[in-house]
Amino acid sequence: MPAGKPRTKAVGRPPHLSLDAIIAAADRILQTEGAEKISMRRLANELNSAPMALYYHVRDKDELLLLLMENQAKSVPRPELPEDPRERLITVSILLYELLSDRLWIVQVLTGADLVAPSALWFVEEMIGAAVDYGHTPEQAVYIYRTIWFSIVGDLVIRVNGERRRGKTTGPSHEDEVVAGLTSGTHPYLATVAGRWAELNARDTHRQGLTAIIDGLLRSDETTEDR
């Protein structure tokens, strides 16, 4: 059922809950515990209610997640975008990355279920439109959008998993320890940065990275619909 469509209410006495309260409680769980922890039973416990009372307002967990994503998408103001198509594509891509980085549970939902918030599709429209305005066909523009999207999601999934690991352990990661032990005899290039590996990996370079990817995609002769 699309988010925002009025529901047919169940017959009987309404429970002492509201859809707004359910969405607010689910958002708290998602923000503090992650998408893997959300369930109708967990949500009912948060609201000091019975799980069956929730079904008066939402059909199932997927509809709840759709409502949550739609609510988040509607709360995002649409900024004034640059006229230049390259600058517009960079601006929208960075905005999308930074909005999702503050809502990592959405990344978990999007990569784990076939769900989309209709109110968020303006990001896709602007990105594809910018690529077309730059001179690419609509088919090429979809390829450009998908490549940028995969880069954003991949980066944020690694961030989600990294934060989860850091929450469970203290001290250097296994990767840091392995790289620190490399020698110039076997891995000369890695050895030159081994002592700063953790620091270099921790740097936030999403703006530079997305800009470089977008410039490469827009200017490449390899960007074709037949790829």
42 Cβ contact partners less than 8 Å away, ≥ 6 residues apart: 29
Task: Name the most confidently modeled range: 60-64, 185-189, 220-224.
Answer: 185-189
Mean pLDDT of 159-163: 73
What is the CB-side half-sphere exposure of residue 53 using CA atoms within 13 A? 18
Tens digits of residue pLDDT in 135-149:
999 999 999 999 999
Token representation of residue 41: 């039973």
pLDDT tier for residue 219 given thresholds of 50, 70 and 90: very high
pLDDT at residue number 112 = 79
pLDDT at residue number 168 = 66
Tens digits of residue pLDDT in 76-96:
889 999 999 999 999 999 999
pLDDT higher than threshold 50 for residue 151:
yes
Mean pLDDT of 115-126: 93
Residue whose token pair is 């990275």: 209
Q: Burial of 189 by CB count in 10 Å (0-12 exposed, 13-18 middle, 19+ buried)?
A: exposed
Token representation of residue 63: 């509809």
pLDDT higher than threshold 70 for residue 37:
yes
112 Cβ contact partners less than 8 Å away, ≥ 6 residues apart: 35
**Mean pLDDT score across all residues of the chain:** 87
pLDDT higher than threshold 50 for residue 150:
yes
pTM above 0.85, yes or no: no
CA distance linking residue 219 with residue 20, whole number of Å:
46
Q: How far is CA 178 from CA 151, 190, 203, in A?
A: 26, 11, 19
Is the backbone of residue 78 left (phi > 0), alpha (psi -120 to 50) or beta? beta
pLDDT cut 90: percent of the chain above it: 56
pLDDT at residue number 84 = 98
Q: How far is CA 47 from CA 21, 23, 148, 159, in A?
A: 8, 11, 39, 30
H or E element: which one contains 191?
Answer: helix 188-193
Is the backbone of residue 171 left (phi > 0), alpha (psi -120 to 50) or beta? left
Please, are residues 142 and 128 in contact by the beta-carbon 8 Å criterion?
A: yes
Token representation of residue 54: 């929730």
pLDDT at residue number 81 = 97
